[in-house]
Amino acid sequence: MAENAMREQMQMVDESRSFAFTTKVDDIIAWGRKNSLWPMPYGTACCGIELMSVMGPRYDLARFGAEVVRFSPRQADLLIVAGTITEKMAPVLLRIYEQMLEPKFVLSMGACASSGGFYRAYHVLQGVDKVIPVDVYVPGCPPTPEAVLDGVMSIQKMIQEQTARPWKENWTPGAYR
Ligand code: SF4
């Protein structure tokens, strides 16, 4: 009798596995968050043009759930900085970052955004991390669309694994406000 009850119970467990799954609240929120990033492109130079091809049908960022490009920081949670940033633009970039929703992420696309590129000049910011906390740097001049996709996937991984981000936690606006 007890054996029958046990068998029935096991059968119910097996059947429930075909339509149900268990997880943690944090994991399901992270899963939803990583698959619905809303990017804000901050394109200032040639990298901005390359970024357009990432959005286009050939590379199709939509496959990663991040095709809803927003031009308002209040509706975006992924800032993609694509191009040269001058000292004059730094406060603007900071303002945009501060207006974005939490939790927010930053992808620095290309040599100029990440390090000033070949502009070793007084008027060019030698990396956007002097102003805002950067999560992923994508190298290249310009980076290939594949590299940008890889950068977005790295951010997705970071979100899913709920990686600690001390560069963001310890970030302060600094002198550019
Ligand atoms: S990294 Fe190269 S392609 Fe990108 S903005 Fe700078 S000069 Fe242009």
Report yes or no on 16 lying in a domain.
no
Domain that holds residue 162: 24-176
Query: What's the pLDDT tens digit per position in 73-130?
Result: 999 999 999 999 999 999 999 999 999 999 999 999 999 999 999 999 999 999 999 9
Report yes or no on 31 lying in a domain.
yes
Cβ distance 109 to 138 under 8 Å?
yes
At residue 119's C-alpha, the angle toward residues 117 and 123, to 5°, is: 125
Report yes or no on 17 lying in a domain.
no
Ligand 1 contacts (CB < 6 A) are 45-47, 83-84, 110-112, 117, 141-142
Report yes or no on 109 lying in a domain.
yes
From CA 146, how far away is CA 133, in angstroms rounded?
Answer: 23
CATH number of the domain to which 46 belongs:
3.40.50.12280
Domain total of the chain: 1
Q: Which atom of ligand 1 is nearest to the CA of 46?
A: 8
Backbone torsions φ then ψ of 133, nearest 5 degrees: -80, 125
Query: What's the pLDDT tens digit per position in 7-43?
Result: 989 888 888 878 787 888 999 999 999 999 999 999 9
Give the pLDDT of residue 1. Answer: 63
Q: Say what the alpha-carbon torsion angle 119, 76, 153, 118 is, to the nearest 10 degrees.
A: 0
- Atom 3 (ligand 1): residue with closest C-alpha? 142
- Atom 8 (ligand 1): residue with closest C-alpha? 46
Report yes or no on 1 lying in a domain.
no
pTM: 0.89
Q: Which atom of ligand 1 is nearest to the CA of 47?
A: 4
Report yes or no on 15 lying in a domain.
no
Report yes or no on 58 lying in a domain.
yes
Report yes or no on 151 lying in a domain.
yes
DSSP structure string for 26-37: HHHHHHHHHT--
At residue 28's C-alpha, the angle toward residues 23 and 32, to 5°, is: 155
